[in-house]
């Protein structure tokens, strides 16, 4: 419970930092998704229970919707789906090396962005945002956003990992305490 709250707090902190930085520096060209690395990490981390991970992803997605001003449910759905996709893709696939992690995150971010576009295209039919007008520009936008997310992901994953590690140690101490009793 505490780990989930801390993870949500981390997401909130990252979102507020991003929005604060966005007021000073234009991030229009490379807008990172700061929540996605946390969701993907929870998806691949075996110590994160399925329900807890899905629920945390749901809340993080909901916060992302609120901060982005996008239609409610858009990022919520994508984040929960990303969590399940990461978990389904297999725990062993998420590499420990930073470079491979960045590559994997790039693919995940690009897929998430593509899903967002696809959902909007489906529900906002016949208006297809971006896709109908300039496919190349849309692909470039997705790639730029995915790149920014991938570059930032090692730091964000490290923070999320630390939260989980703290929780793990606390649980171990509790088990040892019980064994002593």
Chain residues in the site for another protein (CB under 8 A): 12, 15-17, 19-20, 23-24, 50-51, 54-55, 57-58, 61-63, 65-67, 71-74, 76-77, 80-81, 84, 119-120, 123-124
The answer to whether 141 and 130 have CB atoms below 8 angstroms apart is: yes
Q: Which residues are CB-contacts of 124 (< 8 A; sequence separation ≥ 6)?
A: none
Supply the minimum distance, in Å, between the C-beta of residue 113 and another protein: 16
Query: C-beta of 165: minimal distance to another protein in Å?
Result: 24
Nearer to another protein, 30 or 77 (CB): 77
Say which DSSP state 134 is in: -
Closest CB 81 distance from another protein, rounded Å: 6
Task: Give 59's contacts (C-beta < 8 A, 6+ positions apart).
Answer: 8, 11
Q: How many other C-beta atoms lie within 10 A of the C-beta of residue 34?
A: 23
Shortest distance (Å) from residue 180 CB to another protein: 28
Nearest to 67 by CA among 31, 25, 39: 31
Among residues 72 and 100, whose Cβ is nearest to another protein? 72
The answer to whether the CB of 116 falls within 8 A of the CB of 78 is yes
* Cβ 78 vs Cβ 111: under 8 Å: no
Q: Which CB sits closer to another protein, 32 or 101?
A: 32
Q: Are 130 and 57 in contact (CB under 8 A)?
A: no
Kindly state the smallest distance separating residue 28's Cβ from another protein, in Å. 17
Q: 49 vs 166, which CB is nearer to another protein?
A: 49
């Amino acid at each position: 419970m505490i780990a989930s709250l801390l993870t949500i707090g981390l997401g909130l902190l990252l979102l507020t930092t991003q929005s604060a930085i966005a007021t000073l520096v234009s991030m229009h060209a490379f807008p990172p998704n700061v929540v996605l690395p946390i969701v993907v990490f929870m998806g691949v981390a075996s110590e994160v229970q399925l329900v807890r991970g899905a629920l945390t992803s749901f809340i993080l997605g909901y916060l992302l919707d609120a901060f982005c001003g996008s239609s409610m449910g858009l990022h919520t759905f994508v984040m929960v789906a990303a969590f399940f996709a990461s978990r389904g893709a297999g725990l062993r696939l998420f590499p420990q090396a930073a470079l491979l992690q960045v590559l994997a995150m790039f693919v995940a971010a690009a897929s998430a962005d593509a899903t967002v576009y696809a959902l909007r295209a489906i529900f906002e039919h016949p208006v297809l945002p971006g896709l109908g007008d300039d496919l190349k520009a849309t692909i470039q936008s997705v790639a730029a956003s995915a790149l920014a997310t991938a570059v930032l992901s090692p730091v964000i994953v490290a923070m999320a990992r630390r939260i989980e590690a703290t929780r793990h140690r606390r649980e171990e101490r509790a088990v040892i305490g019980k064994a002593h009793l």
